[in-house]
Amino acid sequence: MKTFLKQTVGRKPRGGVSSALAAFFLIFALSGCDSLLDVDLPGVVVYDQFLSDPGSAPTMVVSALGEFECALPQYIISSGIIAHEFQVSGIIGVWQNWGALRDVARNDEGACTGSRTATNVGIFNPLSRARVLSEDGYDRISAFSDAEVPGRADLLAQLAAYAGYSNTLLGEGMCEVTIDNGPAIPPSQVMARAEGHFDRAIQHAQASGNTSILNMALVGRARVRLNQGDAAGAISDAQQVEQGFARYAEYATVTARRENNIHNSTFFSFHMSVHPDYRNPEVQGVPDPRSEARDMESLGVDNITDQWAPEKYSERDSPIRIASWEEAQLIIAEATGGQAAVDIINNLRDQHGLPHFEGGTNQEIMDQILEERAREFFLEGHRLNDMLRHNLPFPTGTNHKGAAYGSLTCVPLSDAERSANPNLS
């Protein structure tokens, strides 16, 4: 079943067996069978017909959102290794390479699994599945009428918003991206795709009155506009985000696949450890609650790395923040600078009882904004992109295991995608 789904990644999501959504629902159905031999191949056509039924619209949305929520911790772990939010405390080869900033195997075959001890990480495959499901679902539901699908605008808003975030993370973490078996494109083009999805999400959310998705899409569009150098557009969007807003990816303990994989990797399997830079840092001598970490009083699986785990993901069902008013505020701070940025930093620090930042030169203020982002969004999937956007230095010399650092700063396309995609050499 895993092989069948893997073959849909990067493929065009239209038509019969080639449809990623049809594949997903086929796999869902097969999960209750004892053997693949129990299922006739024409079942694929049945599920393609199911997806063409307006009554399947809510299921498409649930499936797409669930795939994104499964991919998000994979992205956070993978990008966190390269951005040194994590130290690798496991022994898997691809982790060792990424932890030393080396691209050796081009192994990015990570998938959402049903195991609490899963040892695969990755960006391209998990997020591509989330992208395909949300984009294909959006196209299919767009073809239905409002009469056929109750709450159609709301469903379209959700799919467009999550399509936007799937594209955003692909653009922020990958060196280059392929879309639907096409040629490799640079992150800037993926950001433009994301902005288009957020445009549609905002339109549908306004029409349906879904304020959570509206705020989520505004934060997302502000994020990609900042990535593209559109400071004015980023400020305009961020200023519209409601104070106190937060949107989370939700997790549960009903099955291992629905659990928070960051928790499992740090508190349970000891494959990842919080980097020393984030082990209970302080602000002018005051503990910073935004980056609390727990000493597990043990070594990791490698018997080398001290095992520390992030308190923000202390439970198997701990939620992960996707978008928030705090992010909108720090986008405004970065795009504006000056005393306005200082005031935003201090306002956010007040929420945590932290001392105020006194300001300084323009560069000192920008440096502090990036440090605030590192603390506020610790293990939420922002740090690698911040390092790349601002040309922050990656470590040199040797890592804590004695391996010499290479020059890897983003995730290259995997060998599997290169061999399967006819538009790649």
Residue spans per domain, the chain: 1-52, 58-140+150-393
Place of tokens 């701990």: 318
Tell me the fold of 58-140+150-393. 1.25.40
* Alpha-carbon span 187 to 174, nearest angstrom: 7
Question: How many CB atoms are located within 10 Å of the residue 188 CB?
Answer: 11
Interval 183-194 mean pLDDT: 97
d(CA 231, CA 222): 9
Predicted confidence at residue 12, as pLDDT, reads 36
Question: In the structure, what pLDDT confidence band is assigned to residue 114 with cuts at 50, 70 and 90?
Answer: low
49 pLDDT band, cuts 50/70/90, is confident
pLDDT value of residue 352: 96
Residue 157 near residue 210, CB atoms below 8 Å: yes
Confidence at residue 86, expressed as pLDDT on a 0 to 100 scale: 97
Residues 274-293 have a mean pLDDT of 96
| Model pLDDT, residue 256 | 84
Do residues 348 and 330 make contact, with C-beta atoms less than 8 angstroms apart? Answer: yes
- Residues 262, 316: Cα–Cα separation, whole Å: 9
The better pLDDT of the pair 153, 111 is held by 153
The answer on pLDDT for 27 being more than 80 is no
Question: Which residues contact residue 49 at a Cβ distance below 8 angstroms, ignoring those fewer than 6 apart?
Answer: none
Which has the minimum average pLDDT: 10-24, 93-107, 350-364? 10-24
pLDDT above 60: residue 213: yes
Query: What is the rounded CA–CA span in Å between residue 172 and residue 157?
Result: 22
pLDDT band at 414 (very low <50, low <70, confident <90, very high): confident
Please give the residue that has the higher pLDDT: either 335 or 123. Answer: 335
Three-state secondary structure of the chain:
CHHHHHCCCCCCCCCHHHCHHHHHHHHHHHCCCCCHHHCCCCHHHHHHHHHCCHHHHHHHHHHHHHHHHHHHHHHHHHHHHHCCCEEECCCCHHHHHHHCCCCCCCCCCCCCCCCCCCCCCCCHHHHHHHHHHHHHHHHHHHCCCCCCCCCHHHHHHHHHHHHHHHHHHHHHHECCEECCCCCEECHHHHHHHHHHHHHHHHHHHHHHCCHHHHHHHHHHHHHHHHHCCCHHHHHHHHHCCCCCCEEEECCCCCCHHHCCHHHHHHHHCCCEEECHHHCCCEECCEECHHHCEEEEEEECCCCCCEEEEEHHHCCCCCCEEEEEHHHHHHHHHHHHCHHHHHHHHHHHHHCCCCCCCCCCCHHHHHHHHHHHHHHHCCCCCCHHHHHHHCCCCCCCCECCCCCECCCCCCECCCHHHHHHCCCCC
How far is 378 from 160, CA to CA, in rounded Å?
26
Within 10 Å of residue 416's Cβ, how many Cβ atoms? Answer: 17
Token pair, residue 150, equals 């109750």
Contact 149, 172 (CB under 8 A): no
Q: Are 241 and 215 in contact (CB under 8 A)?
A: yes
CA-to-CA distance for 264 and 1, rounded, in angstroms?
A: 24
The yes-or-no verdict on residue 299 having pLDDT over 70 is yes
Q: What is the mean pLDDT of residues 211-239?
A: 98
Q: How many Cβ atoms sit within 10 Å of the Cβ of residue 378?
A: 24
Helix axes 20-30, 57-82, angle to 10 degrees: 100
- Does the pLDDT at position 17 exceed 50? no
Residue 176's region, left for phi above 0, alpha for psi from -120 to 50, else beta, is: beta
Q: Read off the amino acid at residue 370.
A: L
The better pLDDT of the pair 20, 38 is held by: 20
Do 138 and 167 form a contact (C-beta atoms < 8 A)? no
With cut-offs at 50, 70 and 90, classify the pLDDT of residue 106: low
Asked if residue 175 lies in contact with residue 385, where contact means CB atoms within 8 angstroms, the answer is no
Non-local (6+) Cβ contacts of 119 within 8 A are 90, 92, 269, 271
Mean pLDDT of 98-121: 68
Exposure letters 236-251 (e unless 16+ CB within 10 A, then b): bbbeebeeebbbebeb
